[in-house]
A and B are shown apart, each in its own frame.
Chain A
Amino acid sequence: MTRRVVITGMGVIAPNGNGLRDFELALRKGQSGVRYIEKLAECKFACRVAGAPQGVDALAEASFAEDELMAMNMSHRYGSLAALEAWLDAGFARPSPDSDTVDWDTGAIVGTGIGGMDTTGEKVIPLTDAGRVRRLGSTAVEQVMASGVSARISGQLALGNQVTTNSSACSTGSEAVAMGYERIRHGLAERMLCGGSEAASHYIWAGFDSMRVLNRGSNDEPEKASRPMSASAGGFVPGSGAGILMLESLESARERGVRIYAEVAGVGLNCGGHRMGGSMTAPNPESVRRCIALALADAGVAAAEVDAINGHLTATGADPKEVTAWAQALGRGPGALPTITATKSLIGHALGAAGAIETVASVLMLRGGFVHPSINCEDVHPEIEPHDASIPHTLRELPEMKVLIKAGFGFGDVNACLVLKKWQD
């Protein structure tokens, strides 16, 4: 059984905008959501800037019951808010907590890269080490279990199909979309809420700072800190937030008569096996090219048909290799490479949520016929410079855009690639 899969709803909590409307406005304006974070200075991080969504607690308090909020850490709040927006955006009513009706045809794959580290750091470790385990209460487990975020959402929306959390480092969010697509395509679900959530927490970011993979040279200019494709890219800027997409079988969407944003035309998932230059922290370039080719083949889309790329592009030394891989995989050299942008230039790297938030951005761009500015690369990296004409330094209107390709490449040498098609009735 092979069915077509479309996107009928989306939700987003991002450093530069909460909710689809504000997020799209920020994308169009090229507005950065990267800020100076006092806590990072206190903890003597070398990188003291990050992308953290603003005003989330007030949104959560307006949306969820008091007892539930007491068991919702930051990742749960981001993910639940984005899922609720996607649910309503897809034309569903919020189920009553008093109703025993379960939606057996809808599931959720909501991933996370790190998980409930804020709960672990603020509660579990200090109370346990102090011999006060009893004081942890009933809400610790559900906030630190890896699947906590998808479990939370399933209860809020009475989901009865598969509900799980995937984790594949920085490719998690894109992978979740690919996994949900497979499930619907094979007739195992009608709808899947897919995406990822990652908290803003110094405990999550500390190890990356110690690895020296974060930008430590832009603490006084937060909005200029995330510099994908730039010669002065000095490492990535940690980010956070959540993106959730409602994937739905075309039959179900037509039967419900709802708006369709885009089609998930094909996906590719693979791993480089930590060989051929790949490692725990670097992608095997051959696996990246293969992943892109797998997705195109799955979609039945020719490389020449790709109109835009939303890359993984983190603002590290991997950017030139990634751009080269795109050019090779698509067989499109300087002057012919599709428009290529980096959402991370605006929000930093949201780790397990990155692929999800960036896929929401990609669908908004496909639907709106634009590619958002890839900011902070006025000084294009010398190895990327031949492709400069493909980089949108300012908002690029592409009303004829039909195919956008999105990829995420994660620690562990894992890759996920999505081919998205504009929906035309």
Chain B
Amino acid sequence: MIDEKGKQMDQAAVMERVVKILTPWVKDEKALASVSLETNILEDLKVNSARLVDVVIAFEDEFDIEIADEDVDSVNTVGDAVNLITSKLD
């Protein structure tokens, strides 16, 4: 995928946008400040599990991709989300 600057979007750029999407749902602000690819979305960021469907819809809109329900089941960490999205962008 080509971003607005015409460069291939790298993992860091995807992560930045993933974190931005997650931010309004995050209940642990401290965990957000030190977020990494290993950060667990539900356990560390304390995102309400019921809201994951909204997060996935936002990912689809942001990256213009489709994410199947079975793909969502394997997403636990921020890195899982970034990898899933990156794989759809290829």
Contacts and interface: CB of A to CB of B under 8 A. Distances in A.
B7 to A, nearest CB: 30
A134 B57 CA distance: 9
B50 interface: yes
Contacts, number: 22
B48 A137 contact: no
A134 B24 CA distance: 21
B53 interface: yes
B25 A138 contact: no
B88 to A, nearest CB: 16
B54 interface: yes
Contact of A137 (B24, B27, B53): B53
B30 interface: no
Contacts of A67: 24-25, 27, 48, 51
B73 to A, nearest CB: 15
A39 to B, nearest CB: 26
Interface residues of A, number: 9
Interface in B14-42: 23-25, 27
Contact of A70 (B24, B52, B53): B24
Contacts of A139: 51, 54
Contacts of B53: 137-138
A400 interface: no
B57 A135 contact: yes
Interface in A110-135: 134-135
Contact of B54 (A66, A97, A137): A137
A395 B50 CA distance: 52
Contacts of A134: 57
A70 B55 CA distance: 12
Interface in B31-90: 48, 50-54, 57
B68 to A, nearest CB: 11
Nearest to A97: B27
Contacts of B23: 66
Interface string A355-393: 000000000000000000000000000000000000000
A139 B54 CA distance: 8
Nearest to B48: A67
Contact of A138 (B24, B27, B50): B50
Contacts of A138: 50-54
B56 to A, nearest CB: 9
Contacts of A135: 57
A66 B23 CA distance: 9
Interface string A129-149: 000001101110000000000
B43 to A, nearest CB: 16
Nearest to B23: A66
B54 A70 contact: yes
Contacts of A97: 27
Nearest to B61: A135
A12 B57 CA distance: 35
A96 to B, nearest CB: 12
The 8 closest A-B pairs by CB, nearest first: A66-B24, A137-B54, A67-B25, A138-B50, A138-B53, A67-B24, A138-B54, A138-B51
Interface of B: 23-25, 27, 48, 50-54, 57
12 contacts: A67-B24, A67-B27, A67-B51, A97-B27, A134-B57, A135-B57, A137-B53, A137-B54, A137-B57, A138-B50, A138-B53, A139-B51
Given A138-B50, A139-B54, 16 more contacts: A66-B23, A66-B24, A67-B24, A67-B27, A67-B48, A67-B51, A70-B24, A70-B54, A97-B27, A135-B57, A137-B53, A137-B54, A137-B57, A138-B51, A138-B52, A139-B51
